[in-house]
Amino acid sequence: MRRPVSVAPPKGKLGVLTPGMGAVSTTFMAGVELVRRGHAVPVGSLTQLGTIRLGKRTDGRTPQIKDFVQLAKLDDIVFGGWDVFSDDAYQAAAKAGVLEAKDLAKAEKFLKGIKPMKAVFDQNYVKNLHGTHVKKGKTKFDLAEQLREDIRTFKKKNKLDRLVMVWCGSTEVFLKPEDVHKSLASFEKGMKANHPAIAPSMLYAYAAISEGVPFANGAPNLTVDIPALEEYAKAKNVAIGGKDFKTGQTLLKTVLAPAFKARMLGLNGWFSTNILGNRDGEVLDDPGSFKTKEESKLGALEYILQPALYPDLYGKIHHKVRINYYPPRGDNKEGWDNIDIFGWLGYPMQIKVDFLCRDSILAAPIVLDLALFFDLAQRAGMRGIQEWLSFYFKSPMCAKELYPEHDLFIQLMKLKNTLRWMMGEDLITHLGSEYYD
Ligand SMILES: NC(=O)c1ccc[n+]([C@@H]2O[C@H](COP(=O)([O-])OP(=O)(O)OC[C@H]3O[C@@H](n4cnc5c(N)ncnc54)[C@H](O)[C@@H]3O)[C@@H](O)[C@H]2O)c1
């Protein structure tokens, strides 16, 4: 990828479209509105609170990221979305039960104005969801055309300059890449023939790319992670990325595992289990959707610990991930990790992590950051997979010949160095030998 010659300034309004207006999406929308009105601080958002060091440590240049790269302003964001239920964002947020009534009340009028468009949905891909607010079409291609029309209408109606799409819909059943995903030609033929390996989320991604709208995938579904859509994104000069927001348990896993590896401590096993009771938990109770999530959650350790390079330390790891649907907890997930490590002379030790987290509270700022960074990438003319945004994903997409980078700190360094590179600043290597001349 070449360095952007210039980055177009964020003029006008930015539309943020989310397929899926459930817990994560509505917590994101409500939160941005509360921040805009001065009721809250955007905690958890790197784009809003983060800074970036430029030049030497002695230079004292540490601007805010949002000023350094000129991100779109929160006031310029307009929200839209699709869902299989017709509830407006206020009703959906109230049902999701993430935010307290007193917070929701402050954004009630605003959220009531965000009404979902009819979804492209097929229950064969999300077994535990029964929606009725759904489009009709003879073929998958027709349905994608309807989504394109939605995008154009939304843009015109709201007088938007640019759009981005972030998938916040349910996790679909596990799909493997097949021949139909191999090229744009086979994919388009497959859409017209209603090929079963083309899931609804792929139609949203196809529609977004067709309309020149960057697409980020917050769920572990295959979606845009197929050669056909990568080829299409490159041809249309559109930024794409995914998969699966890195929020709770995997965030900690990608912090702890690099620490063990840094100190050459061994690992025998890592058992991760969760209880959660929101709709996401209900959807993941179906083995097909769980399999998609499990694959996404299992990858991180293998790539971070590199057992082929360190067989004595990581050659025999028992890694298990469980998600249990347990309604009393709602969105307040509890994630336990039991980690069996070993040290000098092979002596065993254990670490227990009990993370009482709030799923959508962790995910909402990620949706915001992805929307703003994907808009930036698009304005900078960066097309195809945006690997520098791996920081936000459990299962980061990357070029075919690469393995994904999961270590949170390498991901952050990559993200910040990409911003420096885009703006023509020196990259920071942390060598620092010049301070001791
Ligand atoms: N919250 C987290 O920490 C977190 C982390 C990583 C990934 N995710 C993923 O983000 C997604 C959203 O999570 P959530 O907690 O908001 O779930 P949710 O069930 O509250 O919301 C998902 C919404 O998507 C809708 N939907 C499903 N299929 C659709 C389609 N084809 N078109 C339009 N709408 C559709 C559902 O009706 C629902 O309202 C899930 O896939 C989840 O696995 C969440």
How far is the C-alpha of 86 from the C-alpha of 119, rounded, in Å? 9
Contact 374, 389 (CB under 8 A): yes
Q: What's the 54 CA to ligand 1 centre distance in angstroms?
A: 38
This prediction has a pTM of: 0.96
Q: What's the 89 CA to ligand 1 centre distance in angstroms?
A: 14
Contact 338, 350 (CB under 8 A): yes
Q: In the prediction, which pLDDT does 287 show? A: 82
Cα→Cα distances 262→254, 272, 305, 351, Å: 12, 22, 10, 17
pLDDT in tens, 17-51: 999 999 999 999 999 999 999 999 999 999 999 99
pLDDT in tens, 270-301: 999 989 888 778 887 888 778 877 776 777 88
How far is the C-alpha of 165 from the C-alpha of 237, rounded, in Å? 15
Nearest to 77 by CA among 47, 50, 46, 117: 47
pLDDT in tens, 128-159: 889 899 999 999 999 999 999 999 999 999 99
Cross-strand bridge partners of residue 323: 274
Q: What's the 83 CA to ligand 1 centre distance in angstroms?
A: 10
Nearest protein CA to atom 21 of ligand 1, as residue: 22
Nearest protein CA to atom 5 of ligand 1, as residue: 245
Atom of ligand 1 nearest to the CA of 24: 16
Average pLDDT over residues 79-101: 96
Nearest protein CA to atom 37 of ligand 1, as residue: 84
